[in-house]
Amino acid sequence: MSIKTTVRRTVTAALATAVLAPVLALASIGSAVADGRTDIRDLARANINHKTCDMNSLGVRGYMGSCEAAHAWCADFARWVWRNAGFSIDRLNAGAGSFYLYGQNNGTLHIDPGYVPQIGDAVVFGYVGNSSAEHVALVDTVNGTSMTTINGNFGGTPLTSSVRYATGGARVGQYVGSQRISAFVSPAGAGDSARALTKRIGVLTEGKVLGKQGDLDAGWANPIHGGGVVKSKFDGDMVGVLDSAGVLWVKQGVYEQDWFRQTENVKDFALESATGRVGVVFNDGSATVKEGGPQGHWVPQGTGVAELTMSGDWIGAVTTEGKALVKQGGLKADWTDQTAGVKRLEIDAKAGRIGVLTVDGRVVVKDGGLNGTDWVEQAPNVVDFELSGTWIGVVQSGGTASVKEGALRAEWGSRLDGIKDVEIDAAIGRLGFLRTDNTLVAKDGGIYGTQWREVTPGVTSFQVTSY
C-alpha cells in the first residue's frame, strides 16, 4: 500500500463516520510511516545489480547525478531512495557522513548499542566526525541480531560497482563485512513539522575565529581557531579558515570537530553546507569545487576566476574579465553567461535570484533563475551587498546600510549609518551590520525588528547563517 493510498482511504473513512475519525487518523499516521519504510525497501530492491550509469527503476540514468559525477555513490543511492519514497533529504549530500549529521539535526540519530534498526533506516559505517564516514547503506531486513542491507557503490570502482545486498551485525559497534556500524539514522517524514533552524554567528578578530550558536546573547564557543587566520567563513554547519600560509581548513558539524585540511595555494574560497560543497579559487586564478563534505573529491571548474560563490546546486563565478557566470546542477554542468562589467556576484538558488555589483557601483538583481532576463537596479554607489531569500542588503559609499524584503521594486526598510559590511539571513530573520569602528551589531525579528544588540568589538569580518 502506498502512502497516497493510505491517506485516501483515511479521508474516505472519516467522511463516512465522524465518530471514528480520531482513531482512523492515529491509525493512518502509523500506517503511513510503515508503508513509507517498506517503500524504501521495495525501491532499493528494485535497483539490485544496477550500476551508477544504468537506467534506474524509475527510468532515469543514475542516482542523484552519480553517473555524471563518477564518484563513490553510496550516499547518492541512499538519498535517492529516501527522496523517491517520500521522505525528507534536507541537507543530505554525496558524502556518507552527511547522514550522521542529518540524524543529529532531525533527532533521528541512533548510536545506542541497544537500538534495534528498522526497515529503511540508513546505516552509517566508520564515522570519524567532520561529516566523514566510510559508507552508508539502507536496512532491508532485520532478524534478531543480524540484518541485511542494500548498498549502492558496492564492490569495484565507482563506475563498475553496483547495488548489492550485504549481511552482518545489526547493532551499533558490530560489523557488516569489515565495516563497523557507527549509527543508524531514521528518515524524517516529508510531512513532519519543520524543525527549528540553528542560528550561528561567526567572526574573525585579530586572526582568531570565534563562533556562537543560538540567541544573540549566547556565549561564544571556545576559539574555533586560535590564530594565524587571514580569512574565515561560516555557512550553515560548515566553517572554513584560510591561514597565512595559503592553506584552507574546513570543519562540518559541531564547533568542536577537528579541522580537515583541504588544499594549499588558496586565494579565496566558498562553502555551501546544505549540499556539502567546498569551492576554491587558487592563486593562479583556477577554481575547483568538491561535494560530499570536506572529504569529497575536487572537480575543476575553470581558469581566469576572480570570485566563486555557491548556493544550493548553483555555482557562480566572476571572471578576471568581469563576466558573471552561473551553473546549476552537477559539478560538471555547463556555465551560463549572465552579464558583464561585474565586480561581485550573489546568488540564491532557492529564491531563484541573481544579483551583481557592477564596476560602477550599481547593484542590479533579477528573478527567474539562470534564464531570467529582467534585471532591476536596486541602488547606486554600493560598496557591499548581500542576497538572502527575498531580502536584499546594501552598504553605500556614505556608510548607510539598507535592507528590504519582497519584490525587487519594494521599498527599503531597515537602515543604519556608519556601516561598512552587511550580512543577512532571511530564514531566521537576522541582520548583522559591521560598523566602521569594527564593532558588530545584530538583531533578530526580521527587517522591522527593533532591538539591536552589541555583539562584539574588534571584528575583521563576520557571517550570520543557519541550518
455 falls within a domain: yes
Residues 97 and 226 both lie in one domain: no
Query: Residue 319: inside a domain, yes or no?
Result: yes
Q: In angstroms, rounded to a whole number, what is the distance separating the alpha carbons of residues 365 and 350?
A: 15
Q: 82 with 121, same domain?
A: yes
Which CATH number does the domain housing residue 163 bear? Answer: 3.90.1720
pLDDT tens digits for 422-463? 999 999 999 999 999 999 999 999 999 888 999 999 999 999
Q: Are strands 287-291 and 461-466 parallel, antiparallel or unpaired?
A: unpaired
128 lies in the same domain as 214: no
Helix (H) or strand (E) holding 84, with range, is helix 74-84
Q: Looking at the structure, do residues 241 and 170 belong to the same domain, yes or no?
A: no
> How far does the chain reach from its first CA to its final CA, in angstroms?
34
Note whether 380 and 424 are same-domain residues. Answer: yes
- Give the whole-number percent of the chain exceeding pLDDT 90: 85
Output 225 or 323, whichever has higher pLDDT.
323
Domain match, 147 and 237 both: no
Residues 235 and 127 in one domain: no
- pLDDT number for residue 348: 99
The letter for the amino acid at 365 is: V
Query: CA 378, CA 376: separation in Å to the nearest integer?
Result: 6
How many domains would you assign to the chain? Answer: 2
pLDDT tens digits, residue range 73-132?
A: 999 999 999 999 999 999 999 999 999 999 999 999 999 999 999 999 999 999 999 899
Residue 444 lies in a domain: yes
Helix (H) or strand (E) holding 30: helix 21-45
d(CA 83, CA 65): 14
Q: Using one digit for the tens of pLDDT, what is the confidence trace for 97-110? A: 999 999 999 999 99
Same domain, 385 and 242: yes
**Which of 73, 77, 122 is CA-nearest to residue 297?**
73
Instruction: Report yes or no on 190 lying in a domain.
Output: no
The model's pLDDT over 315-360, given as tens digits with 9 standing for 90+, comes to 999 999 999 999 999 999 999 999 999 999 999 999 999 999 999 9
Q: Are residues 140 and 240 both part of a single domain? A: no
Question: What gap in Å lies between CA 464 and CA 233, rounded to an integer?
Answer: 10
Q: Which residues contact 243 (CB under 8 A, 6 or more apart)?
A: 228, 229, 230, 249
Q: How many residues would you count in the chain?
A: 467
Q: Name the burial class of residue 168, with classes exposed (0-12), middle (13-18) and buried (19+) by CB atoms within 10 angstroms of its CB.
A: middle
Q: Does an H or E element contain 263, and which?
A: strand 260-263
Domain closes at, from 136, 163, 185: 185
One domain for residues 138 and 263? no
Residue numbers of the domain that contains 133 = 44-185
Residues 279 and 365 in one domain: yes
Q: Indicate whether 164 and 210 sit together in one domain.
A: no
Mean predicted confidence (pLDDT) in 187-204: 83
Per-residue pLDDT, averaged over 281-287, amounts to 99
**What is the longest distance spanned by two Cα atoms in the chain?**
72
Dump pLDDT digits (tens) for 286-310.
Answer: 999 999 999 889 999 999 999 999 9
Cα gap 138→339, rounded to integer Å:
45
pLDDT of 7 above 80: no
